[in-house]
Amino acid sequence: MSGGTGEADADAESPTGGRRAVVAKRVDSGEADLTEIGQLAAAAGYDVAGELTQTRTEDAAFMFGEGKVAELRDLVRRTDAEAVIIDNDVGPYQTFNIGGKLPEGVEVVDRFTLILEIFGQRADTRKAQLQVDLAELRYELPRAEAKASLAKRDERPGFMGLGEYDESVERDIKRQISEIRDELESIAEKEEARREQRRDSGFDLVALAGYTNAGKSTLMRQLADELAVDENDERHRDLDTTAESQDMLFTTLGTTTRRAEMEKRDVLLTDTVGFIADLPHWLVESFESTLDSVYRADLVLLVVDASEPVEEMREKLVTSHDTLYERNEAPVVTVFNKIDRLEPGELADKRAALSGVAPDPIAVSAKTGAGVAELRDRVEGELPDWERERLVLPVSDDAMSLVSWVHDHGHVAEETYAGDQVTVDFEAKPSIVSRARAKAAELSAPPAEESA
């Protein structure tokens, strides 16, 4: 068994004014990595004042060994921490037991409680707040059920300090879960209708997916046209400004959609909440409505931080594929981002090492713009095929309106005028071509004979 502790200067001013916290993690084997939990703590507004790790099998009562919990208590006292953040799935009884060993008033926060706290801070839409509420309720439900089980078994309300059990609490949680699911389903139906309206208007839908801090928001800023979408257009009333690019986890909790700059196609690009390691199934399911923008896209760009070690990239790629291919039918293009951080030859080595999980990645630097032009070409090449059509129309005001409509909804290769006819040679989605043919047929049809 092994372990370690570390601490910041307890007398130093908090650099951000946030609550001081100690982060801790137990692993069965190997070395515990506190990098991500530190980033999560910072994203939630905590200042990490100390660190503690342990390598050993899980203790049923305390998660860590009891001696390590005593070290944790001492570290909290030395750093004057207000919270202990544990990068493990800590059970309700373990949480209570650890808390009982800490100074009074020190909060015990496990990994998933921390993530929910971050989500709650980022939830600035009704949909996002509903998803956070659903996740919190699904997190609380098994704890309410555990209280019920103990109360029935031991006939001792408040057993193990978990609080007095009221069987109506469990019923109320289930009722709230059902109501939130119904409202989220209603929102999802409206969003699906909007997606289909956009497709009918000639737009292809492309989703950015990947782990937090992979650079999705920065890449979106490279691709997105901030002013190209008419905010008065009913098709795009919901669109927000392009996602901010910050070195912080969960900068985007919900989805941000903008029109992307492509040579021929009108593409709407959606940036979604980033994946994060070791999320339980119930938490992923709570944000299923947000993931619909990925599952129902025409193309998915899976963004990976190419500056990370190969094994870490491999693990994230495999986990991302499990999430994406569970319900997604659209093609997935892997994007190796942050190539500006790589040494010469390193990109080729990583391509070769990861060819089994990323057979044909495209390499870019969202920061410098390197490779972004090639990415645009790749996006257009991977999207569903367009049809080629040639319309010959009589010159008239209605025909000119149709020509303008074709320009807006497809790519016009050639437009020529001869005598009293205009010829339009264009490419577009099959649904757009079909509608253009129908409109052209109406223009070419002879006028109905007037009744005598």
Going residue by residue through the chain (452 aa), what tens digit of pLDDT does each one get? 445 666 554 444 444 557 999 999 999 999 999 988 998 899 889 999 999 999 999 999 999 999 999 999 999 999 999 999 999 989 888 988 999 999 999 999 998 889 888 888 877 778 878 888 988 898 888 777 766 665 555 554 444 444 555 567 888 999 999 999 999 888 888 887 877 777 777 788 899 988 878 998 889 989 886 533 333 344 444 444 444 434 444 444 567 888 887 888 878 898 876 777 666 666 776 676 667 778 788 899 999 999 999 999 999 999 888 878 767 678 899 999 999 999 999 999 999 999 999 999 999 999 999 999 999 999 988 988 888 889 999 888 898 999 998 888 888 899 999 988 999 999 888 888 888 888 888 886 665 554 43
Tokens 């569903």, residue located? 384
Q: Calculate the alpha carbon distances from 196 to 200, 314, 382, 431 in Å.
A: 6, 35, 20, 11
Is 365 within any annotated ligand binding site? yes
Pairs from 366-373 (Cβ < 8 Å, separation ≥ 24): 366/215, 366/218, 366/219, 366/221, 366/222, 366/337, 366/338, 367/215, 367/218, 367/338, 367/340, 368/340, 369/222, 370/339, 370/340, 371/339, 372/219, 372/222, 372/223
Give dist(CA 220, CA 206) in Å, integer: 11
Is 240 within any annotated ligand binding site? no
Cβ neighbour number for residue 440 with a 10 Å cutoff: 19
Instruction: Say if CB 95 and CB 140 are below 8 A apart.
Output: no
Is 168 within any annotated ligand binding site? no
User: Would you state the pLDDT for residue 320?
Assistant: 86
User: Would you state the pLDDT for residue 447?
Assistant: 57
Is 230 within any annotated ligand binding site? no
| Assigned CATH for 387-444 | 3.30.70
Is 123 within any annotated ligand binding site? no
User: Would you state the pLDDT for residue 120?
Assistant: 82
Is 355 within any annotated ligand binding site? no
pTM here?
0.66
Give dist(CA 92, CA 216) in Å, integer: 35
Instruction: Say if CB 266 and CB 297 are below 8 A apart.
Output: no
Is 429 within any annotated ligand binding site? no
Is 260 within any annotated ligand binding site? no
Is 298 within any annotated ligand binding site? no
Is 211 within any annotated ligand binding site? yes
Is 264 within any annotated ligand binding site? no
Is 252 within any annotated ligand binding site? yes
Task: Assign domain 202-382 to a CATH class.
Answer: alpha beta
User: Would you state the pLDDT for residue 244?
Assistant: 44
User: Would you state the pLDDT for residue 411?
Assistant: 85
Q: Calculate the alpha carbon distances from 12 to 17, 79, 80 in Å.
A: 11, 10, 11
Residue 110 is inside which H or E element, if any?
strand 107-110
Is 367 within any annotated ligand binding site? yes
Is 337 within any annotated ligand binding site? yes
| Assigned CATH for 2-119 | 3.40.50.11060
